[in-house]
Chains A and B, each alone.
Chain A
Amino acid sequence: MNDFLNALTPDNLGYLMQGLWITVAVSVLSIVVSFILGSVIGIVMFEKIPYFSSLVGTLNNIVRNLPLLLIIFFTYFALPQIGIRLPVFWSTVVAMSFFEAAMLSEIIRGGLDSIDKGQFEGARSTGMSNRQTMMYIILPQAYKKMIPPLISQLISLVKDTSLASGIVLADLTFRGQVVYAQNSHYIVPILVFMTFCYFIANYLLSLLAKRLDRRLA
């Protein structure tokens, strides 16, 4: 217990909380970008445009089947070799968005596939254009159906930001490692504290998901 109090001095706690803020910022930015990009890729795959959809699908599959850690390292360590030099924060956001877009697109395509084809014809017969049908009729329904898998993917995203500590992004995980370097007695207290932070953040997300799900269903 004493170790807990010693480890979580006001200075250390403040330092960790700034890390939590970075974790949240990376998560939110990545969620927004990957959601938009993932929707576009998901729609392309759903539309079954000859050749194009399967080409995009194959590329998407390759990204989806790589470890995120590899993509993060690649973005930060390898891209500078071809002159693309991003600061560690943006490097993480780019890598996470790229990978998560591939994961989300698969969920979004599945959601679109599950919508009854009759809806298209119905909407079109009332004089709506293809794009309008997609925007106002199909996508909102598809998103509703996709809420549970989308939220669990978003929870994964928040957890996965911890991997960026490997490229020295000063997020919660990295800062935790810095704090327990002060004293080896702090290892357990700090790990417990970090677990608590991530758990609360994600648990709130999953409660929100349940709420949304119930309201929309």
Chain B
Amino acid sequence: MEKNKKRLFGITASILLVLILIVAGFWAANRAHENRMHQDTLARVEKTKTINWGVKTDTKLFGLVNTKTGQSEGFDVDLAKALTKQIGKQLNMKLTATFTPVNASSKVQLLKNTNIDGVAAVMTITKERAKIVDFTDPYFPAGNSLLVKKDSGIQSIKDLNDPSKTILIALGTTAADTVKKEAPKAKVLALQDYASAMQALKAGQGQAIVTDNAILYGLVTENPDYHVVGGIMGYAPYGIAFDHNQPGMVKESNEALAALKKNGTYNALIRKWFGQVQGLDVSQLEVTQ
């Protein structure tokens, strides 16, 4: 008798569990379908009166956490704050900027999941990415530059176009193409990351590092004997990203960015963050009207 009861309980409970799983599955599929439907970022911003920006936590000069306050600080963060204020002005409301830390792999996912509204996190505008997200106009003229020792006398990449010279790059960056184009005769040594490239440069394994100017500015701040030269090669600017198909938000942001460039706020921020970088001619980065 007891055995039969247990059996009956087992069958009922199993059927219930299977039913729950099936219903949950259908519900999830349905919700996923609904959620994939378009959500307007601008409408959300107007409703919540906030713009939640994804920013970096580990990139010097653009978004690096100040361990005292626990908040990211840098050009990206300040620009996002200024944009928020400007967009608020355009919409005739007071908008607040909030910040969410993101890393390379989470920024797009969080944008898609609407955890964040926009990404200001050293994101290079590429065709591949533009299929997934919407970019604003460029907000920072990134491209490859040279990092060399101050007393080396090297002024441009042409000085390195010689088989006796070695150029250091980081694996998987656009620097390889730049070097091939601009200094085809030089030897190339590809290293794991920027830190090891810096180590190799100090050890004399090469005469220069070629990579994103933004990264080089960061390296210079910890290595005052070195400076950035050679202008900007292989222009690959950064843009602010929104979810795909957000013409309203992109339009407001582009207008705001143009206004900030016009009223001098943009140049002030450039000078604030890059004015101290050794050997950098800030006017390269500033906009002229």
| Residue positions of A touching B, CB distance < 8 A | 9, 11-12, 14-16, 18, 49-53, 55-56, 77, 80-83, 85, 166-168, 170, 174, 177-179, 181-185, 187
Contacts and interface: CB of A to CB of B under 8 A. Distances in A.
Contacts of A77: 106, 109, 113
26 contacts: A12-B67, A49-B6, A49-B13, A50-B6, A51-B14, A52-B9, A52-B10, A52-B17, A55-B14, A55-B17, A55-B18, A77-B109, A80-B114, A80-B115, A81-B36, A82-B28, A82-B32, A83-B35, A85-B115, A168-B102, A168-B106, A174-B57, A182-B60, A184-B194, A184-B198, A187-B195
A117 B105 CA distance: 52
Contacts of A52: 9-11, 13-14, 17
Interface in B216-274: 222
B106 A85 contact: no
Contacts of B58: 177-178, 181
Contacts of B105: 166
A53 B64 contact: no
A181 B59 contact: yes
Nearest to A77: B109
A82 B31 contact: yes
A9 B6 CA distance: 63
B32 A18 contact: no
Interface in B86-131: 101-103, 105-106, 109, 113-115
A15 B67 contact: yes
B60 A50 contact: no
Most buried by A among B9, B27, B59: B9
A122 to B, nearest CB: 18
Given A15-B70, A167-B106, 14 more contacts: A50-B10, A51-B11, A52-B9, A52-B14, A80-B114, A81-B31, A82-B28, A82-B32, A82-B35, A168-B102, A177-B58, A178-B67, A181-B59, A181-B60
Chain B interface, >50% SS class? helix
Interface of B: 6-7, 9-11, 13-14, 17-18, 27-28, 31-32, 34-36, 57-60, 64-65, 67-68, 70, 101-103, 105-106, 109, 113-115, 194-195, 198, 222
B18 A178 contact: no
Contacts of A174: 57
Contacts of A182: 60, 64
A81 B14 contact: no
A137 to B, nearest CB: 19
A179 B17 CA distance: 47
A9 B68 CA distance: 10
Given A168-B101, A182-B64, A51 B10 contact: yes
Contacts of B35: 80-83
A50 B12 CA distance: 10
Nearest to A13: B67
Nearest to B107: A168
A140 B55 CA distance: 50
A85 B222 CA distance: 40
A84 to B, nearest CB: 8
Contact of B103 (A14, A18, A168): A168
9 shortest interchain CB distances as A-B pairs: A181-B58, A15-B67, A50-B10, A184-B195, A80-B113, A82-B31, A49-B10, A52-B10, A51-B14
B18 A184 contact: no
A179 B67 contact: yes
A181 B194 CA distance: 11
B65 A178 contact: yes
B53 to A, nearest CB: 14
Nearest to A169: B101
Contacts of B106: 77, 167-168
B17 A49 contact: no
Among the interface residues A167, A183, A184, which one has the most CB atoms of the partner chain B within 10 A? A184
A100 B57 CA distance: 30
B122 to A, nearest CB: 12
Contacts of B115: 80, 85
Nearest to A184: B195
Contacts of A9: 67
Contacts of B36: 81
Contacts of A168: 57, 101-103, 106
